[in-house]
Amino acid sequence: MDESGFAIGAIEASKVVIDTHVTQAPTYHQAQPGRQEWVTAVECICADGSFLPPCIIFKAENFCHSWVPANTPKDWAISNNSQGWTSNQHGADWL
């Protein structure tokens, strides 16, 4: 079982800003354009190859069905909350 977070709208290429005037170890700041949201996926796979359909959690007060592609498997658990993270309630509902 694992929980993973994904940035929606993140791009593969990114820019790193480095202050070259600092004589000590530089501080790195990663810049990514656009507004980004996080989505959490909770998944469970057994050593014998069996698995539970994932639970996908969006960060939102209200859920919008247009966020989920029409071809998403019907047995996936889709949910939302204000933080976008899993909780005991999400885990219990998923199982």
The answer to pTM > 0.75 is no
The mean per-residue pLDDT over the stretch 17-41 comes to 63
Q: Which two tokens stand for residue 41?
A: 């996926």
Residue with tokens 């354009």: 33
Residue with tokens 């790193």: 16
Q: Where are the domains of the chain?
A: 2-94
Q: Which residues contact 21 (CB under 8 A, 6 or more apart)?
A: none
Query: Given pLDDT bands bounded at 50, 70 and 90, which one contains residue 52?
Result: very high
> H helices within the chain, ranges in order?
88-94
Q: Which two tokens stand for residue 88?
A: 């005991």
Query: Given pLDDT bands bounded at 50, 70 and 90, which one contains residue 4?
Result: confident
Residue with tokens 């501080």: 27
The more confidently predicted of residues 12 and 67 is: 67
